[in-house]
Structure 1
Amino acid sequence: MRMSRRPFLPALAALALLTLAPAAAMAKPEACLTSLEGFPTALAYDTGDEEVRANRSIRERWLGGYGEITCPGYVTLRAMTPGLNDRERSVFCLQFDRDSNTYTGFAEGKRDAYLHCARPSGAFCEKVNASAETAGKVAGAAGQALNGVRAVENGTGAVVLSGATGSVSAALSNLGATALATVTAPAALTAAAVTVVAVGGAVYVCSE
């Protein structure tokens, strides 16, 4: 299993606080435990939160999580994507290693009943240090004819570009957006193909 290519762990306490609204606004706080890259992580959520309820399947409600994990999958995904709102993060799914009972990251793709990626892979996404202007350029690519690159708007406010790493970088350059953030992101350094997601004014690079 591949571990720790992203800086999840230095801000675990902050993630716990960013999971939902400020504590004072949480009518029914519930403590729970998740696991990020093999590290047990305490979080909390509001049991009355409608978004959490809407993103919990009947299977997850009845059967709970895996191993010692007690947090709903959606609460873990929120902790991993604190800069996005609930609609924006719906483009992502959780990568889960069942052998180690831990979340290894998140990726772009369809979800199963636990919000895990329906097609698990070694892919994961990370936010790159791109400007809002770059995010806007990427978002504006939906529907355009880009050589060797598929660019679609997925209905959740996210625009997804996918293709060979070189083709995606060239397409970003042709759009007037810097390709530097993509080609220098740790996730993309050795990847043959990448997916670039522009959502919430940010850019995420997803690759294996």
Structure 2
Amino acid sequence: MRMSRRPFLPALAALTLLTLAPAAAMAKPEACLTSLEGFPTALAYDTKDEEVRANRSIRERWLGGYGEITCPGYVTLRAMTPGLNDRERSVFCLQFDRDSNTYTGFAEGKRDAYLHCARPSGAFCEKVNASTETAGKVAGAAGQVLSGVRAVENSTGAVVLSGTAGSVSAALSNLGATALATVTAPAALTAAAVTVVAVGGAVYVCSE
């Protein structure tokens, strides 16, 4: 298992503090434990949060998490995607390594009952340093005819471009240099297939 280049690890301590900080204002704060790349991470969530409830399947409520993980999958996904609202982050699913009982990242795709990716892969997503203008240009690619690239807009308003690294690069080059720069993210440099997600005024690059 590869667990050395995930983007959220450097901010692990800050992420934990940010997630725990609102706990005092919660109606019923519930402490829980998750695991990110093998690192136990303490989080907290509001037990009355309607979005958390809506994103917990009956299976997850009754059976709980895997191993020592007690956080609902949605709480972990929120911690990984702090810049998005609940509607926007619904385009992503959690990558989970069952052998090590740890989350290895998140990717674009369908979810199972635990919010894990229904089709697990080695892919993961990272937010790239792109402006709101760039995100708008990428989002504007939906509906355009892009050679070798599949461009769709889903119900959350996210625009997803997917194809080979070469075809996605060529498509983004037509949108300008700043858009093209998104595929120079470390995740995409050696990837055969790339998915670019524009959502919430941000750009994510997903690749294996």
Task: Decide whether the 8 Å contact of 1:134 with 1:177 is kept in 2.
Answer: no
C-alpha offsets along residues 2-60 of structure 1, whole Å, 9 cap, x if unaligned? 10212323322332344488234211000000000010000000000000000000000
What SS is found at the alignment partner of 2:45? strand
The verdict on how the C-alpha distance between 1:207 and 1:7 changes in structure 2, with shifts beyond 3 A counting, is closer
Task: Decide whether the 8 Å contact of 2:129 with 2:182 is kept in 1.
Answer: no
Gaps of 5+ in 1: none
Q: C-alpha root-mean-square deviation of aligned residues, in Å?
A: 1.4
Q: CA deviation at 1:127?
A: 0.5
Structure 1 runs of 4+ aligned residues shifted over 2 Å read 9-14, 16-25, 176-183
Task: Decide whether the 8 Å contact of 1:165 with 1:193 is kept in 2.
Answer: yes
Task: Decide whether the 8 Å contact of 2:92 with 2:108 is kept in 1.
Answer: yes
Q: Distance in 2 between matches of 1:196 and 1:165?
A: 10
Q: CA deviation at 1:166?
A: 1.1
What SS is found at the alignment partner of 2:106? strand
Is the aligned partner of 1:113 residue 2:76? Answer: no
Task: Decide whether the 8 Å contact of 2:23 with 2:45 is kept in 1.
Answer: no
C-alpha offsets along residues 151-197 of structure 1, whole Å, 9 cap, x if unaligned? 10011110000011111111111022524433321111111110000
The verdict on how the C-alpha distance between 1:61 and 1:159 changes in structure 2, with shifts beyond 3 A counting, is same
Task: Decide whether the 8 Å contact of 1:18 with 1:82 is kept in 2.
Answer: no
What SS is found at the alignment partner of 1:21? helix
Q: Distance in 2 between matches of 1:21 and 1:84?
A: 18
- Identical residues among aligned pairs (%): 96
Q: Distance in 2 between matches of 1:30 and 1:46?
A: 6
Gaps of 5+ in 2: none
Bigger mean CA deviation after superposition, 103-112 or 142-151: 142-151
Q: Distance in 2 between matches of 1:183 and 1:160?
A: 14
The verdict on how the C-alpha distance between 1:40 and 1:21 changes in structure 2, with shifts beyond 3 A counting, is closer
What TM-score results when the alignment is normalised by the length of structure 1? 0.95
Task: Decide whether the 8 Å contact of 1:88 with 1:156 is kept in 2.
Answer: yes
What TM-score results when the alignment is normalised by the length of structure 2? 0.95
Residue correspondences, number: 208
Q: Distance in 1 between matches of 2:13 and 2:86?
A: 21
Task: Decide whether the 8 Å contact of 2:91 with 2:158 is kept in 1.
Answer: yes
